[in-house]
Amino acid sequence: MSNQYKIETKCIQSGWKPKKGEPRVLPIYQSTTFKYDTTDEMGKLFDLEEEGYFYTRLQNPTNDAVAAKIADLEGGVAAVLTSSGQAANFYAVFNICEAGDHIVCASTVYGGTFNLFGVTMKKLGIDCTFVDADASEEEIARAFRPNTKVLFAETIANPALVVLDIEKFAKIAHEHGVPLIVDNTFATPVNCRPFEWGADIVTHSTTKYMDGHAMQVGGAIVDSGNFDWEAYGDKYHGLTLPDESYHGVVYTKKFGKKAYITKATVQLMRDLGSIPAPMNCFLLNVGLETLPLRVARHCSNAQKVAEFLNAHEKVSHVNYAGLPTDKYHELAKKYMPNGTCGVISFELKGGREAAVKFMDGLKMAAIVTHVADARTSVLHPASHTHRQMNDQQLAEAGVSPGMIRLSIGIEHPDDIIEDLSQALDLV
């Protein structure tokens, strides 16, 4: 009955369920392979006739326990873990798209996702139209084509901190007979569960708050099991027609609500192989146990810092949905009543030059290409994560040249503010 538990309990109790005499703590199954007694037993696994472990590229017990926990946290039916958030977003889309298909994506998505969809997947013949997530339903609907297979967005866009109107996006997606995929990395299932608002599939960079200690790079894909793949003829034929690489298995027929995740596991993982190491899944699981405690602290610290920056004379603008004056405050109250995330972006009156001076003057907050871990860190998107974009792309991504992205850690808020304050004095 784990579905009845509150999220704090699920973070501890879901996933690994030891039987009599087994280790209480999730063991690291550091083994590529698994033993069987007869040739026939193993043969059945290769034909998907029976379930069981045989090779870690497809499935591993440590990884599966953590995937099950994340599925439970999101309220989904199944999940698969990947070696990075990038791999998660690639697989989530590639699982239902192929050459000749098209996707629609919010333009404010993470820089890595923007490149993946806008450049790399184009080379595979999958076209992407980027849309303004704040645009009207009619305007977003105009981006759809007969070959559109996916609508994609982030709950809280990294780094523009645009809060997604999930219900609006779900409505548009479903009116066009496509699933809504939401990257829920920044909100985490502690603050928002997109399935409750109509999203069909959720992805994560578990590298961020889920791990929370900057110890491993990882990703996850979770399926709600709600999208009816068979309702649209052979539009999603990879799921609804026979897979010749498994002697004609039809995923929707054989695996029901778990069809999408099963296909991603047994077909994409088999062929492309971006699995996480069991050791990394173990570390991720340790992070997940304290996720609700950390997220609450990240949010309360970020709120205090956002208020401090907002009142500072050298700061021209602060993006943080927790501020009542923020453009996304109302959406955040609806979708994330307990808080959004620990990431703030802001701008100094002195622009790019002042940003560099400020960042170089920080003593505790470190300049790192990372967000969402226990330590306060800072980054300049225009010269770091979004470096490959031109000015127009930067504007569409909600990144101005002077924007500073600040990831608030779980240190004492007074110490964080003191560090920011002394660096602002140097500007």
Stretch touching ligand PLP by CB under 6 A, among 82-90, 261-269, 310-318, 323-331 = 82-90
Q: Which is nearer to ligand PLP, 16 or 110 (CB)?
A: 110
Using CB under 6 A, which of 110, 209, 251, 282 touches ligand PLP? 110
Using CB under 6 A, which of 59, 62, 107, 113 touches ligand PLP? 113
What lies within 8 Å, CB to CB, of 68 at 6+ separation is 14, 15, 79
- Contact between 205 and ligand PLP per CB under 6 A: yes
CA 378-379-380 angle, 5° bins: 140
Shortest Å, Cβ 86 to ligand PLP: 4
With contact defined as beta carbons under 8 Å apart, do 227 and 215 qualify? no
Q: Which is nearer to ligand PLP, 219 or 322 (CB)?
A: 219
- Contact between 292 and ligand PLP per CB under 6 A: no
- Contact between 280 and ligand PLP per CB under 6 A: no
Count of other CB atoms within 10 angstroms of residue 222 = 32
Q: Which is nearer to ligand PLP, 158 or 319 (CB)?
A: 158
Stretch touching ligand PLP by CB under 6 A, among 107-115, 173-181, 236-244, 256-264 = 107-115
Q: Which is nearer to ligand PLP, 95 or 185 (CB)?
A: 185
Rounded Cα distance, 144 and 152, in Å: 12
Listed in sequence order, the DSSP H helices in 2-161 are: 7-13, 39-46, 61-74, 85-94, 111-115, 121-123, 137-141
What's phi and psi for 345, nearest 5 deg? -120, 145
Shortest Å, Cβ 71 to ligand PLP: 18
**Amino acid identity for residue 156 in this structure:** I
Please identify which residue in the block is written with the tokens 């929707």: 252
- Contact between 262 and ligand PLP per CB under 6 A: no
- Contact between 208 and ligand PLP per CB under 6 A: yes
Count of other CB atoms within 10 angstroms of residue 354 = 20
Judged by DSSP in three states, 364 sits in coil
Rounded Cα distance, 217 and 369, in Å: 12
Q: Which is nearer to ligand PLP, 159 or 339 (CB)?
A: 159
With contact defined as beta carbons under 8 Å apart, do 197 and 213 qualify? no
Shortest Å, Cβ 300 to ligand PLP: 21
Q: Which is nearer to ligand PLP, 110 or 335 (CB)?
A: 110
Rounded Cα distance, 34 and 17, in Å: 20
With contact defined as beta carbons under 8 Å apart, do 53 and 34 qualify? yes
Stretch touching ligand PLP by CB under 6 A, among 83-91, 125-133, 273-281, 324-332 = 83-91
Stretch touching ligand PLP by CB under 6 A, among 70-78, 106-114, 223-231, 291-299 = 106-114
Using CB under 6 A, which of 15, 61, 76, 85 touches ligand PLP? 85
Rounded Cα distance, 346 and 359, in Å: 12
Using CB under 6 A, which of 158, 224, 262, 303 touches ligand PLP? 158
Binding mask 136-155 for ligand PLP (x = CB under 6 A): ------------------x-
Shortest Å, Cβ 185 to ligand PLP: 4
Total number of residues that touch ligand PLP (CB under 6 A): 17
Structure tokens at 32: 């590529």
**In this structure, are strands 366-367 and 201-205 parallel, antiparallel, or unpaired?**
unpaired
Structure tokens at 31: 């083994």
Q: Which residues bind ligand PLP (CB under 6 A)?
A: 84-86, 89, 110, 112-113, 154, 158, 183, 185-186, 205, 207-208, 217, 219
